[in-house]
A and B are shown apart, each in its own frame.
Chain A
Amino acid sequence: MKTLVIGLGNPILGDDGVGWRVAEEVKRQLPSPFQGDGQGTGVDVDCLSLGGISLMEHLIGYDHAILVDAFALDEPLGSILILKLSDLPNYSAFHTTSTHDTSLNNAIELGRCMGAHLPDEVEIVGIATRRIYDFSEELSAPVADAVPFAARVVLDLLKQEIRKSRRKSFAGVPLAILG
């Protein structure tokens, strides 16, 4: 089971960069035996500012992916939303779509047509934001407060996925270590 966690967004556009902060926190808290090496062992964690085909290209070779992203729906700031890519209610709410080419769903279909191995399902952890048009490296307080919670959500999803694999070890690591 090759797993990838991606923080999406623009780290210099205020709350838009929250996905990066969460991904960094996940990487920090991930028990060391599960830290990815980029070669398929453990959980790889990355931070990207991409969508569409470019994002799909980063998912090639993985069995499972979790995207962490800012979203701009009318939810209270800092609210956390968990859903699957196939359930996205609004294509425009996340970075998964690139206006330069196509949606991530379309891009994944394109990749599969080309024979690429891509995750069967992509999970999304979204954090509600609104201040995404002002250049800043700072998160607003409610969004910053949500970072540890969102990181916990991602770690729990990873744990569930690992247990679902019904194996005694995950990427060569005994599951007991996960606690």
Chain B
Amino acid sequence: MTQRISIDPITRLEGHGKIEIFLDEKGNVANSYFQIPELRGFERFCVGRPIEEMPLITNRICGVCPEAHHMAAAKAADAAYHVDPPRTAKMLRELLYSAFYCTDHTTHFYALGGPDFIMGPDAPVAERNILGVIHKVGLEIGGKVIQMRKYGHTVVEMIGGRKVHPCTSIPGGITKGITEEQRKEIEEMGRWAIDFAQFSLKIFNDIVLGNKQYVDLILGDVYTHHTYYMGTVDENNKVNFYDGKVRVVDPNGKEFVKYAPKDYAEHIAEHVEPWTYLKFPYLKNIGWKGFVDGSDSGVYMATPLSRLNASDGMATPLAQEEYDRFYKTLGGKPVHQRLATHWARLIELLYAAERWVELVTDSEITSPNIHTKPTQTPTEGVGIVEAPRGTLTHHYWTDERGIVTKVNLIVGTTNNYAPIQMSTHKAAASLIKDGNVNEGLLNMVEMAFRAYDPCFGCATHSLPGQMPLQITIHAVDGNPVKVLKQFC
């Protein structure tokens, strides 16, 4: 007899999805499917519009990371117009992006990933949220989180023109610079952000790394996969969120390929499964071998952990120290344990804050030279940035008037669809035994994909979150044999 478990909808996940777990007659996991409703018709929506509109339209795809889409779209438009923005314009974009990263990574750690550790994976679901965290660790944390977010929003508004959905990046650069007065204000906020990032790493160190149970959980086999890793690196192979080449390392940490954004299609292909509308990107030159680990499988991952694995280090000193400590503690490179992504995210938070200060203290940051006028006929262009959730690729084709004729996007989370599928399956198989299912176990299945911070909806239609969760176990005849609920 086969039983079926549905986790629908998933708590604390971008967009919304559903996990179907099929048990065999002994009550162990036979198969599992992570299904996501896809938003439709984006290419049709874009075709016929001037390419200059793309940075404004694509940032409406997602209510969580509009800054990432704005940047990738602007870079793709730069490329399509064959124009190289002035140094100051690039720095301003990256400065905005660094502030956004600080906001985004902070929110994920304190509201999504952190509660599982700070409150414990078995804590009642009503307590596993940001309120539980501040009640347990102290009000001071809540104040700092809100302050960090406020500073991030302020910088995005100063440079991007709006608190959310920035609108100032255009082909060839940016429409507004910053004054010396603004520069000083941004620097002050950035220095505070560095302190905050270090404070966050200390919390992780004290609460998570100081707890043997959590360290065992992180290092255990349940949340471990050996795959390829992807991330954007600078000319020294250090992590960069805004610009550089895409580097992929194999499961042993050896460089497999490093390519310029325009060449992405030579290296990435997409696999289709009959049970989902979403496609599964994989490394073209390895090939699709199914949802399996190893050097022979083209499955790759693109997350904060991947970026650390795919690089030779961080480009700022404090983050580099943490990078070294990370690999020393976890047994060397690459780290395959998915739950270590939460730690990697905090190291990236520190890097983003340091980079923020580095950029805003550059002598050219207030230069009025912020735009290069495009003079060539547009054709096609690819723009890649590292979104918090993975490598984000925008590719546009235009006619000679700059009207979009074709669009291809690979959004951050899409890169990780196959690894997430593998992680949820492995966690379910490890944690659901002989038909024994309870809320704590199911949350640990959710933890498997929460580390990836997936954003499948990639839209502002942010339905779930802390919401009703109903898990129904069906017998083969369709009759429910067990129902678990929360927030219902």
Contacts and interface: CB of A to CB of B under 8 A. Distances in A.
Contact of B111 (A53, A57, A93): A53
A132 interface: yes
A91 B42 CA distance: 27
Nearest to A14: B41
Contact of A110 (B44, B112, B142): B142
A98 B465 contact: yes
Given A49-B165, A111-B146, A135 B130 contact: no
Given A53-B111, A100-B107, A132 B461 contact: yes
19 contacts: A12-B60, A51-B462, A52-B111, A52-B462, A54-B164, A91-B466, A92-B16, A92-B463, A95-B461, A98-B64, A98-B465, A99-B12, A99-B465, A100-B462, A110-B131, A110-B142, A111-B146, A135-B39, A135-B45
A12 B107 contact: no
Interface of A: 9-13, 16, 48-54, 57, 72, 90-93, 95, 97-103, 106, 109-111, 113-114, 116, 132-136
B466 A50 contact: no
A102 B128 CA distance: 10
Contacts of A133: 37-40
B124 interface: no
A143 to B, nearest CB: 15
- Ranked 5 nearest A-B pairs via Cβ: A49-B460, A101-B111, A91-B467, A135-B45, A97-B465
B261 interface: no
Contacts of A91: 464-468, 487
B318 interface: no
Given A10-B63, A98-B462, 12 more contacts: A10-B461, A53-B111, A91-B467, A97-B465, A97-B466, A97-B467, A98-B465, A99-B464, A113-B142, A134-B40, A135-B40, A135-B41
A2 B466 CA distance: 29
B15 A135 contact: no
Majority-rule SS of A interface residues: loop
A83 B31 CA distance: 41
B154 to A, nearest CB: 12
A125 to B, nearest CB: 18
Nearest to B140: A114
Contacts of B150: 57
B108 interface: yes
B134 interface: yes
A56 to B, nearest CB: 9
Contacts of B143: 114
B13 interface: yes
A114 B466 contact: no
Interface string B1-44: 00000000100111110000000000000000000011111101
Given A95-B460, A114-B139, A114-B146, A101 B465 contact: yes
A135 B461 contact: no
B467 A13 contact: no
B459 interface: yes
Contacts of B462: 51-52, 95, 97-100
B39 A102 contact: no
Contacts of B42: 135
Contacts of B139: 113-114
Interface in B447-478: 455, 459-468
A113 B40 contact: no
